[in-house]
Copies of this chain bind each other. A is one copy, B any other.
Amino acid sequence: MSIRTRFSLQDTEIPTLWYNLNADLPEPVPPPLHPGTKQPLTPDALAPVFPMNLIMQEASTERWIEIPEPVREIYALWRPTPVFRAVRFEQALQTPAHIYYKYEGASPAGSHKPNTAVAQAYYNKVAGTKRICTETGAGQWGSSLAFACRLFGLECTVYMVKVSFHQKPYRKLLMQTWGATVYSSPSENTEYGRKVLAEDPDCPGSLGIAISEAIQDAVTSGNAKYSLGSVLNHVCLHQTVVGQECIKQMELAGEEPDVIVGCVGGGSNFAGLAFPFVRRKITEKKHYKILAVEPTSCPTLTKGDLRYDFGDTAEMTPLLMMYTLGHKFMPPRIHAGGLRYHGMAPMVSHIKKLGLIDAVAYPQTKVFEAAVAFARSEGLVVAPETAHAIAAVIDEAVKCREEGRKRVILFNLSGHGQLDLAAYDTYLSGNMQDV
């Protein structure tokens, strides 16, 4: 072909190791603190919430951690994922930039989330867990964990933020098809949910509330553990298969990225793409511009404070050192439900503080303008979360055009948008507003 646009790895090239950025940071991430004592957390304190194997992984500073064979066997359903060069999109933007994207949308749940869901379900299975509780916003995470639990024979209980439960019935149905039990959060199923509903029966819910409910369900029922789809170190770790594959694929393409872009909510898809490149930035002094893209309506990295804060609304979680808008922050109802989180992964927060990455925020109309431009040139309809990355890619590519300078841009196409078409409809019919 005239221009090669697809860069696939062999079936045998699914990574065998996860990469742990904690091994290479110039200074360590501040430790999580016990919510009562405010002292660094001991592994035992987390034991009611997570299985011990994941707790140890959360605290690990080992550089490479072996991916268990049963996890890789399920990864094979969609990994290795392809990298594409978006030549039609480049042409539409009339840019000298070369734009590459890693396509994580072909997983069974449609996003990057199964990369950690499968790992977490596996570690819970071997630790003897029978049921996993979690929260979900738009449903990308809940559906991924439902899928993973099903394959390991675990029960799965999902607290889905009420506004999404009603706006996004398809992802709820996807979870149910995989056999999960799904509650609209705040729910009558937990003490905390009942408390919230008593104060405000019309509460639209938030990720912070849903996290509190899922933790409470897990620790009070005695037979279950809790699972988080982003933010934590071990979640970022599991996602590093994305960036590791990309490094090989950019070699296949014979190019080195100048700009690396991912959207951020809790931080996991960004971490997955970025951390293996951050390693090279630290150890090989590479000059990458690594860009985290968030919504202006939930501007954690661009307007939040870096301080210890709770991960949830009910103050049940450990205190994490992170950029935060405050754990009582109630984000507006934007269409990128997966980016409506008040905090940011401590590891992502830390490398932002160290100046290893940059951050930028976009309003949702601009984001959907980018998504439609991408769909109509490249041909793929992306998730609203992913569209934030594309908005930033367009600005970078336009800058290249204006400066007459070729740069290589790589972004994480973290999920497809086939279950988010109602949001496209709102945009295309002129009814979308910035909040």
Contact = CB atoms under 8 A, between A and B. Distances in A.
Interface of A: 1-8, 10-11, 69, 72-74, 76-77, 84, 88, 106, 108, 110, 147, 150-151, 169-170, 173-174, 176-179, 372, 375-376, 379-381, 418-419, 421-422, 424-425, 428
A177 B4 contact: no
B375 A173 contact: no
Given A176-B428, A381-B177, A418 B170 contact: yes
Contacts of A179: 376
A82 to B, nearest CB: 8
Nearest to A82: B11
Contacts of A84: 76-77
A10 B179 CA distance: 36
Contact of A11 (B8, B174, B176, B419): B8
5 contacts: A1-B72, A6-B77, A108-B380, A151-B379, A174-B421
Contacts of A170: 170, 418-419, 421-422
A43 to B, nearest CB: 31
Contact of A108 (B1, B110, B381): B381
Contacts of A376: 150, 177-179
Nearest to A110: B418
Given A88-B151, A150-B379, 11 more contacts: A2-B73, A6-B11, A7-B11, A77-B84, A147-B379, A151-B379, A170-B170, A170-B418, A170-B422, A174-B418, A177-B375
B69 A2 contact: yes
Contact of A372 (B1, B177, B379, B422): B177
A430 to B, nearest CB: 13
A1 B12 CA distance: 9
Contacts of A379: 74, 77, 108, 147, 150-151, 178
Contacts of A5: 73, 76-77
A337 to B, nearest CB: 16
A291 to B, nearest CB: 25
A32 to B, nearest CB: 33
Given A173-B421, A379-B147, A425-B176, A6 B76 contact: yes
A106 B174 CA distance: 17
Number of copies: 2
A116 to B, nearest CB: 16
Contacts of A76: 1, 5-6, 84
A177 B424 contact: yes
A81 B67 CA distance: 25
A177 B428 contact: yes
A150 B381 CA distance: 13
Nearest to A4: B11
Contacts of A77: 5-6, 84, 379-380
A18 to B, nearest CB: 17
Nearest to A179: B376
Most B Cβ at <10 Å: residue of A5, A6, A151, A424: A6
Nearest to A252: B11
B176 A375 contact: no
A421 B171 CA distance: 8
A73 B177 contact: no
A170 B169 CA distance: 12
Nearest to A174: B421
A419 B376 CA distance: 20
A134 to B, nearest CB: 18
A69 B3 CA distance: 11
Contacts of A428: 176-177
